[in-house]
Structure 1
Amino acid sequence: MTDAAIDYTAVFHGLPGMVALLTPELVFADANDDYLRMSGRTREQLVGRYLFDVFPDNPGDPAANGMRNLEASLYRVLATGERDAMALQRYDVEAPGRSGEWEERYWSPVNAPVPGPDGKVALIVHRVEEVTELIRARGGHRTGRPRALEAELYTRARDLQELNERLRDAHAREREVALALQEAMLPAPRQVGHHQAAVRYRPAVGALNVCGDWYDLVDLVGGNRIGVSVGDVVGHGLAAAGVMGQLRSALSAASRVAAGPGQALDVLGRYAHVVDGAESATAVTTFIDHDRHTITYSSAGHPPPALVAPDGHMEFLDRATDTPLDARPDPIPRPQAVTTYTNGATLVLYTDGLIERRREDIDTGLARLADSLRRHRGQDPETLADAMLRELLPPGGATDDTALIVVRL
């Protein structure tokens, strides 16, 4: 059966359990049949209405906090773009058709983001596991406060929620450390001489704010020249970032004294051989001579830079590609090649997260990149970089890290 033959609306409404769709403003966009039945609300009472207008906290119970906890979870999903599973919650829910009369309910919610084309959260899937009857059957029930088993379950749920909050705080601190590490290791975007450059850095979905990809721009000794490089360390997180910082710094230093990019990568490969975690790392570096209008380049197992002329002529710089940095126990001199460019051309270096997709040939990703670069070549580097990321990365984010640098020549 094809996707076109599947009635996804019918599937949604037939899902077992309570499932609702919320907008980023926490307004009901839809709710399945079980949600309507088990909440005791009609579609007209839900769709288009603010969640907490429909389900407010019990104003007669100062200790009621189920809805406040739910609101905090939903805002975490909007802020992080990540799924948030809540501990079992006790709610006071206003009885359908009986204003001011409150029923005790036990719900276990899970809130998951649905990204839009721009990668931002477009909808939240709000799924609720209804366990009220289970608790009543296990522990007995009477109107008012929970009896012994209910009270114990509620206390355990509250303790679990507090633990989840502490874990989220620890994760947030780890993200702050990662972000500070990224800022310390990678150069800020800047204008290189009279030429504009834009950089972008996107960790893989679910990773910290730092990863193993890097970029670099350096002023070269002698003439009106700059070096532009990108590289990729296998893995994500702080360990990969530590290796990334070592390799980026080594290449930056080598580029300033090397006779050409091939020699710079030769030096870097020898250094990578003694760095734990640098196995299979790749890099490409370009030496741009603005006076001669030439680009000399060399690649250590990395996807080729792309050069587009003002008239749309595309060239992938792929005539000097060698093995990854630590591939040879006894390194040999690496190749390099030279190409020319015209004023107003655009050079793009990137890592494989921008072009590679599972079960897809890399040539397909390169063709997609070339098409995007041709169409946006007249835009300034900042706008062009944003357009390429928007078009080339999956809507929900890539499963691999991505670094991108755009230089107007």
Structure 2
Amino acid sequence: MQDPEIDYAAVFRALPGMVALLTPELVYVDANEDFERLSGRTREELVGRYIFDIFPENPKDPAAAGMRETRESMLRAVATGERDTMALLRYDIEDPQRPGQWVEHFWSPVNAPVRGPDGEVMLLVHRVEEVTEFIRAFGGRSDDRRARVLEAELYTRARELQEVNERLRRAHAHEREVALTLQAAMLPPPRPGGHHRAAVRYRPAVGALNVCGDWYDLVDLPDGGMAVAVGDVVGHGLAAACAMGQLRSALSAACRVADGPGSALEALGLYARFVEGAESATAVTTFVDWDDHTITYSCAGHPPPALLDPDGTVTFLDRATDPPLGARPEHVGRPETSIPFAEGAALVLYTDGLIERRTEDIDRGLARLADSLARHRHAEPERLADALLADLLPAEGNTDDTALVVLRL
């Protein structure tokens, strides 16, 4: 039985409640029937017009803030790519039948971004619940004074809630800025030269508050080899970024003195027990020996690195896997193993944001990674890194941070 074709334009027009579509510049693209009816404007009067040319602030009320608050919410949704729900809002609109007469409305708006294939916001869904009659009727028709007192009380509480929400947004935005600055300082680009050609990428998750603790590192070893590592700290925000910085620095130091990646992760695990926020962090480190053409690796609960041979064959380095840092109550040494590599191969390390999806098994993500690597096997590290992100991250944006290292061997 074939699925019926759905006329989404007709569905949009029939949606209950006021719904309009706007461009990121806040120009109307469409409006449904309830929006036309309750706002007193026809679709032809709305489409192609800037929203606040049609619904300006009430000039008769010096304290009016409906337009300003709605504009800030819309621009915030466009800038962050996140849905923005407003508190109960008083917004007077001019009666189209009686110019100069302003009608009091109480609205509960939600502004939701719609992303295009490139991940950028292309439309804004503006939905408004009209609650004016509910507020007026709640106090009872026989007691208008009581109804007006209730209106004022609800409006005052809604404004207080909105102010609290705005302060929380500013605080979280500041925390995100600090965390991203710390991550940027701790995750510099690789130094050119030597045996290798490398590319690194870090993509924070979509969402104003969703700063995580993903990290990477490339370390020149005393014997002329190189250590490449990635890790992931559980949690979000500044605390995760701080824990990330401590673990990255500790592993960088351990790799320079350890006799192999297993010993380096063993030392990191002992250190992690004394770092707040480092519980159950994951990491993987690889030691590259340029002379012997071997990679020795060890993994602490992390997705396996991928070795891409020049012929397109992909091997996942999953034969030295152990639990995450600090997961065992007693101290146990970490395993390690080695694998040869051919001239021109590529080593790819990454965090789970690149491959994991909440609705599917991890094997599907690994298969996508292997397929993308095989298709782009001849690309240089910078192009290969960009291709992997384009192929594997969702078009609407990744919900988890992603760190990626590509090393041409």
TM-score, with structure 2 as normaliser: 0.87
The CA distance in 1 between the partners of 2:2 and 2:271, in whole Å, is 52
The CA distance in 2 between the partners of 1:193 and 1:335, in whole Å, is 28
Q: How many residues align?
A: 402
- Computed over aligned residues only, the root mean square deviation of the Cα atoms, in angstroms, reads 2.9
1:182 equivalent in structure 2 = 183
**CA 1:97–1:391: 2 relative to 1, 3 Å:** farther
**CA 1:192–1:110: 2 relative to 1, 3 Å:** same
Q: Letter of the aligned partner of 2:237 in structure 1? A: G
Q: Structure 1 residue 16 and structure 2 residue 16: aligned? A: yes
The CA distance in 1 between the partners of 2:157 and 2:371, in whole Å, is 56
| Cα deviation 1:248-270 (Å, max 9, x = unaligned) | 22211111112222222222233
Over the matched positions of the two proteins, sequence identity in percent amounts to 71
SS of residue paired to 1:235: coil
1:360 equivalent in structure 2 = 360
Q: Structure 1 residue 330 and structure 2 residue 370: aligned? A: no
SS of residue paired to 1:79: helix
My pick for the range that moved more, 175-184 or 74-83, is 175-184
| Cα deviation 1:61-105 (Å, max 9, x = unaligned) | 554432122111111111112222222222232323554443332
Equivalent pair of 2:173/2:208 in contact (CA under 8 Å): no
CA-CA distance at 1:281 after TM superposition: 2.6
2:92 equivalent in structure 1 = 92
1:198 equivalent in structure 2 = 199
2:71 equivalent in structure 1 = 71
Unaligned runs of at least 5 residues, structure 1: 141-145
CA-CA distance at 1:279 after TM superposition: 3.8
**CA 1:131–1:356: 2 relative to 1, 3 Å:** same
**CA 1:300–1:147: 2 relative to 1, 3 Å:** closer
2:258 equivalent in structure 1 = 258
The CA distance in 2 between the partners of 1:356 and 1:277, in whole Å, is 22
The CA distance in 1 between the partners of 2:138 and 2:331, in whole Å, is 70
1:219 equivalent in structure 2 = 220
**CA 1:207–1:228: 2 relative to 1, 3 Å:** farther
**CA 1:383–1:53: 2 relative to 1, 3 Å:** farther
The CA distance in 1 between the partners of 2:136 and 2:324, in whole Å, is 63
**CA 1:46–1:311: 2 relative to 1, 3 Å:** farther
Pairwise mapping of residues 289-300 of structure 1 onto structure 2 (< 5 A)? 289-300=289-300
The CA distance in 2 between the partners of 1:385 and 1:326, in whole Å, is 31
CA-CA distance at 1:40 after TM superposition: 1.6
1:129 equivalent in structure 2 = 129
The CA distance in 2 between the partners of 1:277 and 1:69, in whole Å, is 37
Equivalent pair of 1:110/1:127 in contact (CA under 8 Å): yes
Unaligned runs of at least 5 residues, structure 2: 142-146
1:143 equivalent in structure 2 = none
Q: Structure 1 residue 113 and structure 2 residue 97: aligned? A: no
Equivalent pair of 1:218/1:228 in contact (CA under 8 Å): yes
Pairwise mapping of residues 263-278 of structure 1 onto structure 2 (< 5 A)? 263-278=263-278
SS of residue paired to 2:366: helix
Q: Structure 1 residue 170 and structure 2 residue 179: aligned? A: no
Pairwise mapping of residues 333-352 of structure 1 onto structure 2 (< 5 A)? 333-343=334-344, 345-352=345-352
| Cα deviation 1:225-262 (Å, max 9, x = unaligned) | 22110112333333333332332222111111122222
**CA 1:381–1:45: 2 relative to 1, 3 Å:** farther
CA-CA distance at 1:159 after TM superposition: 3.2
The CA distance in 2 between the partners of 1:84 and 1:388, in whole Å, is 31
Q: Letter of the aligned partner of 1:12 in structure 2? A: F
Q: Letter of the aligned partner of 1:407 in structure 2? A: L
Q: Letter of the aligned partner of 2:199 in structure 1? A: A
| Cα deviation 1:368-393 (Å, max 9, x = unaligned) | 11222233344443343333223212
My pick for the range that moved more, 58-67 or 36-45, is 58-67
The CA distance in 1 between the partners of 2:284 and 2:346, in whole Å, is 17
| Cα deviation 1:300-322 (Å, max 9, x = unaligned) | 23211122244433232233333
| Cα deviation 1:19-76 (Å, max 9, x = unaligned) | 1122212122222221121112222222333222322234565544321221111111
Equivalent pair of 2:263/2:333 in contact (CA under 8 Å): no
